[in-house]
Structure 1
């Protein structure tokens, strides 16, 4: 196989790896967006829980369902908010694990791309000398 054929093959491989890297970076950005949304929801729910904890046992609590406020039992509201916080926390933990995995894949892709670049450059330099 001639060196120009090898270089073309390596460049195709380089493009494929670059496209993979680009996709990984989009996935990481999407993960950050979703994580930000959940972090905001977690903060809001923790604030609601603090407010519910302040209330007296006989206080009226209403839940917004669509355009309607529906009366809800304080204990039920408290339990619902706690469940929501638990769910959001679990999702954040899952997203963090997913993000770590994506970042590791991104780093290995970058390393592979760098090695490919070096190989292509050394082959091109060798070709230029010949």
Structure 2
């Protein structure tokens, strides 16, 4: 949080920086949602396959045959990882949002103080 001596420009720059960071983590969250959906669809497909079904993994330009149990385990691990990443990103989103709101309130408070000072100066001595 900015100190009492922060200038409006410093506060504005801090707020802009927080908004940029927030946008980056929101975009990361959206990518994770897409990965989550994709992996859940694969998991569902695996559940419907016979145990002796052929499964191939694309590695570069080549399809490599993979054991079903290994493929299921890899997807489960990926889903677990994605879930943990979503929780981490959600915490960042909450932190940046909270800090952004605090910075916004500080900017508004400073602007109101400046307006009051200007009004007092315009009114002159009583």
Same fold (TM over 0.5): yes
Shift of 1:124: 1.0
TM-score (norm 1): 0.89
> Which 5+ residue runs of structure 2 have no aligned equivalent?
none
Shift of 1:125: 1.1
> Which 5+ residue runs of structure 1 have no aligned equivalent?
1-9
Q: Which residue of 1 aligns with 2:104?
A: 110
Shift of 1:68: 0.5
Q: Which residue of 1 aligns with 2:45?
A: 51
Aligned equivalents of 1:15 and 1:88: distance in 2?
A: 38
Aligned equivalents of 1:36 and 1:21: distance in 2?
A: 23
TM-score (norm 2): 0.92
1:69 to 63, 69, 75: 63
Map 1:11-30 to 2 at 5 A: 13-30=7-24
Aligned equivalents of 1:67 and 1:121: distance in 2?
A: 65
- Report how many aligned residue pairs link the two structures: 120
